[in-house]
Amino acid sequence: MTSYPMSPLMGQMMDQPLLISSIIEFAARHYGSTEIVSRRVEGDLHRYTYRDCHQRARQMANALTGLGVKLGDRVATLAWNGYRHMELYYAVSGSGAVLHTINPRLHPEQIAYITNHAEDQYLYFDLTFLPLIEAVAAHCTTVKAFILMAGREHMPAETKIPQLLCYEDLISSSSDDYQWPLFDENSAASLCYTSGTTGNPKGALYSHRSTVLHAYGSAMPNALNVSSADTVLPVVPMFHVNAWGLPYSVLLSGAKMVYPGAALDGKSLYELFEAEKVTFSAGVPTVWLGLINHALQNQLQFSTFRRTVIGGSACPPAMMDTLIDKFNVEVIHAWGMTEMSPLGTAGGLQTKHLVLPKDAQRKILQKQGHAVYGVDMKIVDDAGTELPWDGSTYGHLLVKGPWIIKSYFKNEGGDVLQDGWFPTGDVATIDADGYMQITDRSKDVIKSGGEWIGTIDLENIAMSHPSVLQAACIGIAHPKWDERPLLLVVKRPGMEVTREEMLAFFEGKIAKFWMPDDVVFIDALPMGATGKIQKNKLRDQFKAHQLPVG
Ligand code: AMP
Distance CA 524, CA 526 (A): 7
Residue 311 CA, ligand 1 centroid: distance in Å: 7
**pLDDT, mean of residues 259-272:** 97
**Residues 36/49, Cβ–Cβ less than 8 Å:** yes
Asked if residue 307 has pLDDT above 70, the reply is yes
Residue scoring higher pLDDT (54 or 195): 54
Q: Is 105 in the pocket of ligand 1 (CB under 6 A)?
A: no
pLDDT in tens, 68-95: 999 999 999 999 999 999 999 999 999 9
Residue 263 Cα to chain centre, angstroms: 18
**Residues 166/147, Cβ–Cβ less than 8 Å:** yes
Distance CA 346, CA 217 (A): 11
pLDDT in tens, 317-349: 999 999 999 999 999 999 999 999 999 999 999
With the most atoms of ligand 1 within 8 angstroms of its CB, the residue from 343, 438, 527 to mutate is 438
- C-alpha distances in Å from residue 463, one per residue of 312, 474, 498: 17, 15, 14
pLDDT in tens, 489-535: 999 999 999 999 999 999 999 989 999 999 999 999 999 888 889 99
**Residues 356/363, Cβ–Cβ less than 8 Å:** no
Residue 432 Cα to chain centre, angstroms: 28
The pLDDT value given to residue 452: 87
The pLDDT value given to residue 197: 59
The pLDDT value given to residue 526: 94
Q: Is 103 in the pocket of ligand 1 (CB under 6 A)?
A: no
Asked if residue 199 has pLDDT above 80, the reply is no
With the most atoms of ligand 1 within 8 angstroms of its CB, the residue from 218, 239, 337 to mutate is 337
Phi-psi region of 410 (alpha: psi -120 to 50; beta: other; left: phi over 0): left
Residue 481 among the catalytic residues? no
The pLDDT value given to residue 277: 98
Ligand 1, atom 22: closest residue by C-alpha: 313
The pLDDT value given to residue 200: 80
Residue 480 identity:
K
pTM recorded for the entire structure? 0.94
pLDDT in tens, 115-124: 999 999 999 9
**pLDDT, mean of residues 198-221:** 94
The pLDDT value given to residue 196: 61
For the CA of 334, the closest atom of ligand 1 is 19
- C-alpha distances in Å from residue 331, one per residue of 276, 307, 354, 368: 20, 6, 16, 11
Q: Is 96 in the pocket of ligand 1 (CB under 6 A)?
A: no
Distance CA 434, CA 411 (A): 32
Residue 339 among the catalytic residues? yes
Asked if residue 549 has pLDDT above 80, the reply is no
Residue 299 CA, ligand 1 centroid: distance in Å: 32
* DSSP 3-state of 450: coil
As a whole number, the mean pLDDT across the chain is 95
What does the DSSP 8-state code read for residue 338? G
For the CA of 368, the closest atom of ligand 1 is 19
- Selecting among 339, 429, 459, 532, the annotated active-site residue is 339
Q: Is 337 in the pocket of ligand 1 (CB under 6 A)?
A: yes
Distance CA 180, CA 20 (A): 10
Question: What percentage of the chain has pLDDT greater than the value 90?
Answer: 92
Q: Is 314 in the pocket of ligand 1 (CB under 6 A)?
A: yes
Residue 20 CA, ligand 1 centroid: distance in Å: 25
- DSSP character string of 383-430: T--B---SSS--EEEEEE-TTS-SS-GGGTTS---BTTBEEEEEEEEE
Residue 28 CA, ligand 1 centroid: distance in Å: 33
Residue 412 identity:
E
Ligand 1, atom 15: closest residue by C-alpha: 312
For the CA of 456, the closest atom of ligand 1 is 21
* DSSP 3-state of 303: coil
Ligand 1, atom 7: closest residue by C-alpha: 337
Angle at 241 between CA 237 and CA 245, to 5 degrees: 85
- C-alpha distances in Å from residue 480, one per residue of 458, 484, 542: 21, 9, 18
Q: Do the bridges between strand 422-430 and strand 395-400 make them parallel or antiparallel, or are there none, so unpaired?
A: antiparallel
Beta strands in 162-242 (DSSP E): 164-166, 188-193, 203-207, 231-234
The pLDDT value given to residue 198: 62
pLDDT in tens, 380-412: 999 999 999 999 999 999 999 999 999 999 999
Distance CA 436, CA 164 (A): 48
Question: Domains in the chain, ordered, with CATH?
Answer: 15-208 (3.40.50.12780), 447-541 (3.30.300.30)
The pLDDT value given to residue 273: 98
Q: Is 368 in the pocket of ligand 1 (CB under 6 A)?
A: yes
- Say how many C-beta atoms besides its own lie within 10 A of residue 45's C-beta: 14
What does the DSSP 8-state code read for residue 7? P
Distance CA 7, CA 390 (A): 39
- DSSP character string of 464-507: TSTTEEEEEEEEEEETTTEEEEEEEEEEPTT----HHHHHHHHT
- DSSP character string of 340-397: GSSEEEE----GGGTTS-HHHHHHHHHS-EEEPTT-EEEEE-TT--B---SSS--EEE
Q: Is 335 in the pocket of ligand 1 (CB under 6 A)?
A: yes
Residue 337 CA, ligand 1 centroid: distance in Å: 6
- Selecting among 77, 194, 231, 338, the annotated active-site residue is 194
Asked if residue 374 has pLDDT above 80, the reply is yes
pLDDT in tens, 129-184: 999 999 999 999 999 999 999 999 999 999 999 899 999 999 999 999 999 999 99
Per the document, the length of the chain is 550
- Selecting among 326, 447, 509, 543, the annotated active-site residue is 447
**Residues 305/329, Cβ–Cβ less than 8 Å:** yes
With the most atoms of ligand 1 within 8 angstroms of its CB, the residue from 437, 532, 534, 536 to mutate is 532
Distance CA 316, CA 457 (A): 9
